[in-house]
Amino acid sequence: MEMKFDGEFNINQPRDKVFEILRDPEKFAPLLPTFHSMEMKDSNRANLKVKVGIGSIIATATTELILEEALAPSRIRYTGQGKVMQGAYQMSSTFELDEIDGETRVRWQGRTVLAGKLLSIAGGGLRSYAEKEINRVITSLQAALAPGAQTAEIRVPEENWFMRLLHFLTGTHKQEATDSQASPATAADTTMTYAPHPADTLQSRKDSIHKINRILDAGCNAMKPGRKEDKRLVTGQGLYVDDYLPAGALHMVLVRSPYAHARILDIDVSRAESLPGVICTITGKEIAEHTTPFTQIGPEPSARIQDFCLAVNKVRYQGDPVVAVIAESRHIATDAAQLVEVNYDILPAVVSCEDAQTDTTVIHEEAGTNRTWQGVYEYGDVDQAFAGAAHIVRIDHLKFHRFSSTALECNAVVATWDRRDQIDFFCNTIMTVPIAMIAPALDVRTDQIRLRTHDIGGAFGNKIGNYPYMTLAAFASRKAGGAPVKWVETRSEYMQAGGHGGERNYYDTEVALDKDGVITAIRSRHVDDCGAYPRYEPLGCVIWSQVLPAAYKLRNVRIDFSQVVTNKGPCAPNRGYSRLPHMWFMERVIDICGHELGIPADEIRLRNYIRDFPYTTPNGCVYDSGDFVAMLNRARDIIGWDDWKQKQQQARTEGRIIGIGIGTTLDSGTNNFAQSQIINPFLPFSSNSVVSTVKLDLDGSISASVSTFPQGQGHETTTAQVIAEELGVDTDMVHVKTGFDSERNSHSGTCGTYASQFAVTGLSAVHGAVVKLRNEMKKLAAYALEANENDLEFGMGEQGPEVRVIGTGRGVNYWALANMVNYNKASLPEELREISLNVRHTYVPPFEAPDVEKKYGNLTLTYAMQLHIAAVEVDPQTFKTRILDYVIVDDCGKVINPMIVEGQVHGGTAHGLGAALLEIMPFDKDGNVLAGSFTDYAPITINNMPDLKCSNMQTPSPFTYNGAKGMGEGGGAPLHAISAALQDALYDQGVIIQHSHNSPMALHDFIREGRQRPVTTESR
């Protein structure tokens, strides 16, 4: 194979000078961007080592470079020959120099001949590569000869592209500032100069500016590399929805209801529409005419609920969107929204769960009741167990409060419904389910919808609730003639309307225990309050049963579970969705029983923990692996349990109130969607799947996509880890697509980032795909190397990442393999022509359909476990709770990336502590939102977050290929542990911790006002 190149370029230097450099191999060779090292044989000959490669595929080639001709001052010719990729090449290059107006014109010609089987089947991509390299030589020559450059001492600049790549590849990325090497142009662009403003003479201002400037220039020593995602995020180059503004985009602002429950009498948009810059408005009437109500997940009667993307006839919560205003700018839309007039007839608001159950006021007339779902979960022989109980503990009422993990980025979407009838959503939703919700509502095919995400500023489940807004924005785009419509929720809107975690009430709980304090049975009635529209609900009415007995071995359970709607913002899954409130309940139960029976909190748990794994729960779920006892022992050791017990006694004598409490919890991951049939037997859902594609790209680099919607969980990093490990390459060589794109990421209907599943579903999909890719690569390599597949191995070689014959040094690199498949099919035998090196794998967890009648079956695949212990002190004056010490032991099976796992543990703990002590979404009796802003809601800050002592245990899951378990949600252990610690602190004052939220005010009311003891214990 022969390649010829030629061209010309100018250098702003006299010809002599240019000749001088080109004729000296010692000066010329280092200008090659691929230059690695050289050894001069004599003044005209050198042995040269160059690195050649495309993308991340780098091979070393050895060349003998000979200066054949040097006719001063106008002609120079080099020849060279060498070996690369098990083949040989010869090259020659000629330079002709002319002087024109004091500049030198360089005309050049090059010729390369490649020989060898590998080169001829893989060589297709070489030409463009070679051209690029030639351009680099020219640039580097021009730079070397630029005025001011030290031509006498030409060397490869330290920080050229190649050295950076090399550092990158070898992990020796340097942190030193490179100002000495930077070209003057770059330095000028980026240097920050703080010339004081002439009018400003304040010394302090100058000082501050000076201090900032000084620290900006600070260098530092090397630090270990972080995640793949980090570079863009720490440099402000993340792309969140609000950062995206396509040309011609319009802005949507919503007029929301000031009332929790009211009939819409009339709407006047005329003044708003006449404001210059306003494109159109949309009301519920129009939406009802042109769209279909969203699919309801629940059975009758909740299936009859008519839920549209704008309120129709009635508003059902404070913040219910009534009118959309679309304008050229956000400011104009905001102004216009204030000109919309809506008249309401106010209706009584249904705020409490108790009121909702009476149906005195019905929120959705179509359904005829506020009770959207009801079912009894009964296992074992409950009444028999109660008949034989040694103790029965009765708890009137417990309550899990409404709060939200409030991702820092609110819901947002840019929707474009163009004239070709394609709908593009650039948004921050977190799963593919919205496609299935939106398409029927807008009466389009799912393939007309393109769903894209890029960076997402946290979601924690909440952003599943984005789809009504996405639908509305798409509708607005169509009405506005196909222009993109951007909607970005404000924080205040989110506080009113965005998906919050639901509230749960536990009534009339009875617990049967044997004489040793082992719980034998529980019967109870639980009611969820899901807000005004069920949306993703009533799935929460079954999801809790993934952890039905929590960490405990009781076999007899009867829970009457139901859900109601109220005039509050619609809920959405929130980190720990539905399982967390149930585990908080179970932890309250065991803790209250311990206190009532005088059994220490650790002891009663030890008597009740499940000990043998895999463990089948009374409702057929299988806890895969774990060791609660070891976790408790470790946590007790770290915090110094016995010491704290002593300190507590001592403190009491000083009038201080100290308590120590345990929270044991489970984080069930990887849903079996068949559980939805327990809610509604007509739902055609079962199991779960996640899809990944991995390919050896055209240039031999590795790229991958996964059908997930990461929001900070580091999927790019862990995906690259799995692939790199399987192929024996560095993670830097693996390029993982950022975010989700339905036109790019192969996917199924249930793909997404939710329910603690990525380490299992996502990584299993990636692993399956890379194994398939490996097999294809092996087949090709076996052919190219004329070897047996079994004799091949993967690894890094001189030629970059390669497949080689074990123990021979004979290998074929990725570039060559990619070339064979992509450019040189005729070189392949018939049986290898199907190979694409672009493979797809769908991971499907091994689930079966549950018994819907009996509500029995395996609902999730893995169970990560966490055990927290908190030591707290309650101020007897202010009732403020202070955390004195906090220990976490977590076990999520085999850990793929310890840094990321620990980060998730920290984050989940912050959400739990925030919820336990600070964060609540309260409403007044009229349904007014009382935490309408971040300032009122007060999410946990760095100031009220204690230092955490974390420890990790690993009991690998037997059900996953890698032994990993999903763990991102955490099981809300801080809520359990804080409630337990407060219980421990306050039990002797007659306080029973009944609520999951314990603000100073709530504790004050408990302690000062006193109330009827909600617990009775009967011992027989």
800: left (phi over 0), alpha (psi -120 to 50) or beta: left
- Cα–Cα dist 758/756, whole Å: 6
In whole angstroms, how close is the CB of 772 to another protein at the nearest point?
Answer: 31
Q: Which of residues 217-246 bind another protein (CB under 8 A)?
A: 217-221, 223-227, 229-240, 242-243, 245
Number of continuous H segments (helices) and E segments (strands) in the chain: 29, 36
* 713: partner contacted, choices another protein, ligand FES, none (Cβ within 5-8 A by kind): another protein
In whole angstroms, how close is the CB of 944 to another protein at the nearest point?
Answer: 9
Contacts (Cβ under 8 Å, ≥6 apart) of 447: none
- Cα–Cα dist 8/136, whole Å: 13
Q: Which of 390, 391, 269 is nearest to 325 (CA)?
A: 269
Q: Which of residues 906-935 bind another protein (CB under 8 A)?
A: 906-911, 933-935
Given 355, 409, 587, 890, the residue binding another protein (CB under 8 A): 409
Amino acid at 635: A
Angle at 527 between CA 320 and CA 510, to 5 degrees: 160
Residue nearest to ligand FES (CB): 408
Q: Which of 734, 727, 673 is nearest to 705 (CA)?
A: 734
Q: Which of residues 167-206 bind another protein (CB under 8 A)?
A: 175-179, 182, 186-187, 190-195, 197, 199-200, 205
- Helix, strand, coil fractions of the chain, as percent rounded to 5: 35, 30, 40
Amino acid at 198: P
Give the range of 13-21, 419-427, 488-496, 526-534 binding another protein by CB under 8 A. Answer: 488-496
Enter the DSSP assignment of 458. -
The single residue listed with the structure tokens 């539905």 is 578
In whole angstroms, how close is the CB of 431 to another protein at the nearest point?
Answer: 16
* 225: partner contacted, choices another protein, ligand FES, none (Cβ within 5-8 A by kind): another protein
Q: Which of residues 511-530 bind another protein (CB under 8 A)?
A: none
Enter the DSSP assignment of 294. P
Is 701 within 8 Å of 56 (Cβ atoms)? yes
Give Cα separations from 417 to 294, 442, 479, 480, 873 (angstroms).
Answer: 19, 11, 9, 9, 56
Give the range of 56-64, 404-412, 552-560, 641-649 binding another protein by CB under 8 A. Answer: 404-412
Does 457 contact another protein by CB under 8 A? yes
In whole angstroms, how close is the CB of 909 to ligand FES at the nearest point?
Answer: 14
Q: Which of residues 326-355 bind another protein (CB under 8 A)?
A: 329, 331-332, 335, 338-339
Does 275 contact another protein by CB under 8 A? yes
Please identify, using beta-carbon distances, which residue of 185 and 826 lies nearer to another protein: 185
Given 669, 712, 714, 927, the residue binding ligand FES (CB under 6 A): 712
Q: Which of residues 408-437 bind ligand FES (CB under 6 A)?
A: 408
Q: Which of 506, 502, 584, 505 is nearest to 547 (CA)?
A: 584
Does 14 contact ligand FES by CB under 6 A? no
Please identify, using beta-carbon distances, which residue of 408 and 629 lies nearer to ligand FES: 408
Residue 671 host element (H or E): strand 657-671
* 990: partner contacted, choices ligand FES, another protein, none (Cβ within 5-8 A by kind): none
* 452: partner contacted, choices ligand FES, another protein, none (Cβ within 5-8 A by kind): none
Query: What burial class does residue 1002 get, using C-beta atoms within 10 Å of its C-beta: 0-12 exposed, 13-18 middle, 19+ buried?
Result: middle
In whole angstroms, how close is the CB of 907 to ligand FES at the nearest point?
Answer: 8
In whole angstroms, how close is the CB of 904 to ligand FES at the nearest point?
Answer: 12
- Cα–Cα dist 824/197, whole Å: 64
In whole angstroms, how close is the CB of 220 to another protein at the nearest point?
Answer: 4
Residue 395 host element (H or E): strand 391-400
Query: What burial class does residue 414 get, using C-beta atoms within 10 Å of its C-beta: 0-12 exposed, 13-18 middle, 19+ buried?
Result: buried
The number of residues that bind ligand FES (CB under 6 A) is 3
Structure tokens given for 675? 């559980």
Angle at 474 between CA 298 and CA 296, to 5 degrees: 5
Binding mask 869-908 for another protein (x = CB under 8 A): ------------------------------xx-xx--xxx
In whole angstroms, how close is the CB of 712 to ligand FES at the nearest point?
Answer: 5
- Cα–Cα dist 601/594, whole Å: 6
In whole angstroms, how close is the CB of 903 to ligand FES at the nearest point?
Answer: 9
Please identify, using beta-carbon distances, which residue of 501 and 594 lies nearer to ligand FES: 501
* 909: partner contacted, choices ligand FES, another protein, none (Cβ within 5-8 A by kind): another protein
Amino acid at 69: E
Please identify, using beta-carbon distances, which residue of 376 and 408 lies nearer to ligand FES: 408
* 793: partner contacted, choices ligand FES, another protein, none (Cβ within 5-8 A by kind): none
In whole angstroms, how close is the CB of 733 to another protein at the nearest point?
Answer: 19
Is 966 within 8 Å of 758 (Cβ atoms)? yes
* 1010: partner contacted, choices another protein, ligand FES, none (Cβ within 5-8 A by kind): none
The single residue listed with the structure tokens 């770059």 is 186
Please identify, using beta-carbon distances, which residue of 549 and 714 lies nearer to ligand FES: 714
In whole angstroms, how close is the CB of 184 to another protein at the nearest point?
Answer: 12
Please identify, using beta-carbon distances, which residue of 231 and 285 lies nearer to another protein: 231
> How many beta carbons lie within 10 A of that of residue 898, not counting itself?
9
Give Cα separations from 897 to 334, 354, 576, 626, 724 (angstroms).
Answer: 45, 45, 21, 19, 13
The number of residues that bind another protein (CB under 8 A) is 101
Is 501 within 8 Å of 919 (Cβ atoms)? no
Please identify, using beta-carbon distances, which residue of 935 and 1012 lies nearer to ligand FES: 935
Binding mask 51-90 for ligand FES (x = CB under 6 A): ----------------------------------------
Please identify, using beta-carbon distances, which residue of 103 and 902 lies nearer to another protein: 902
Give Cα separations from 227 to 491, 712, 716 (angstroms).
Answer: 29, 10, 8
Please identify, using beta-carbon distances, which residue of 500 and 582 lies nearer to ligand FES: 500
Q: Which of residues 128-167 bind another protein (CB under 8 A)?
A: 159, 164
Given 458, 640, 932, 1014, the residue binding ligand FES (CB under 6 A): 458
- Cα–Cα dist 573/433, whole Å: 13
In whole angstroms, how close is the CB of 492 to ligand FES at the nearest point?
Answer: 11
- Cα–Cα dist 926/202, whole Å: 53
Give the range of 28-36, 44-52, 403-411, 419-427 binding another protein by CB under 8 A. Answer: 403-411
Please identify, using beta-carbon distances, which residue of 440 and 946 lies nearer to another protein: 946
Give Cα separations from 989 to 304, 591, 1008 (angstroms).
Answer: 49, 16, 10
Structure tokens given for 313? 């006839």
Residues in the chain: 1020
Please identify, using beta-carbon distances, which residue of 54 and 407 lies nearer to another protein: 407
Does 258 contact another protein by CB under 8 A? no
Q: Which of residues 683-742 bind another protein (CB under 8 A)?
A: 711-714
In whole angstroms, how close is the CB of 458 to ligand FES at the nearest point?
Answer: 5
- Cα–Cα dist 866/634, whole Å: 12
> How many beta carbons lie within 10 A of that of residue 191, not counting itself?
12
Please identify, using beta-carbon distances, which residue of 459 and 527 lies nearer to another protein: 459
In whole angstroms, how close is the CB of 735 to ligand FES at the nearest point?
Answer: 23
* 235: partner contacted, choices ligand FES, another protein, none (Cβ within 5-8 A by kind): another protein
The half-sphere exposure of 12 on its side-chain side, counting CA atoms within 13 A, is: 6
620: left (phi over 0), alpha (psi -120 to 50) or beta: left
Residue ranges binding ligand FES (CB under 6 A) = 408, 458, 712
